[in-house]
Copies of this chain bind each other. A is one copy, B any other.
Amino acid sequence: MTAFANVTIKKKANIYFDGKVTSRTITLSDGSEKTLGIMLPGEYEFGTQKPEFMEITAGELSVQLPGFDDWVIVAAGQSFNVPGEAKFRLKVRTVTDYCCTYLD
């Protein structure tokens, strides 16, 4: 899928880490939410509420999932899941474009 149709998008962005991580929230026709975001190179820790499905559409990063010591490389075209109510860490190597789906 290269585009999402019949969505509502908030006009204002979500801005984190001095703008090095930003995203746009869209609500799909079924009421579910996604964020489409950009991360610049750097190291970040995020916390989830709902479980998340993270698709990387451009760029490359390493992710350390909750409970793991290892870092896993994720590149454009790849994805990973994060449990809810958890923290995970990212080392973003190149400008990364992502689509995050919030799961119930």
Q: Which residues of A does B touch, CB under 8 Å?
A: 1-13, 15, 18-20, 22, 24, 26, 36, 38, 40, 57-58, 95, 97, 99
> By DSSP majority rule, is chain A's interface helix, strand, loop, or mixed?
strand
The minimal Cβ–Cβ distance linking A14 to chain B, given in whole angstroms, is: 9
Contact call A58/B95, Cβ cutoff below 8 A: no
Contact call B18/A95, Cβ cutoff below 8 A: yes
Contact call B13/A3, Cβ cutoff below 8 A: no
Q: How far is the CA of A95 from the CA of B14 in the complex (A)?
A: 11
Q: How far is the CA of A38 from the CA of B10 in the complex (A)?
A: 14
Closest partner residue, chain B, to A95 (CB atom): B19
Closest partner residue, chain B, to A94 (CB atom): B19
State which of B2, B7, B9, B15 has its C-beta within 8 Å of the C-beta of A38: B15
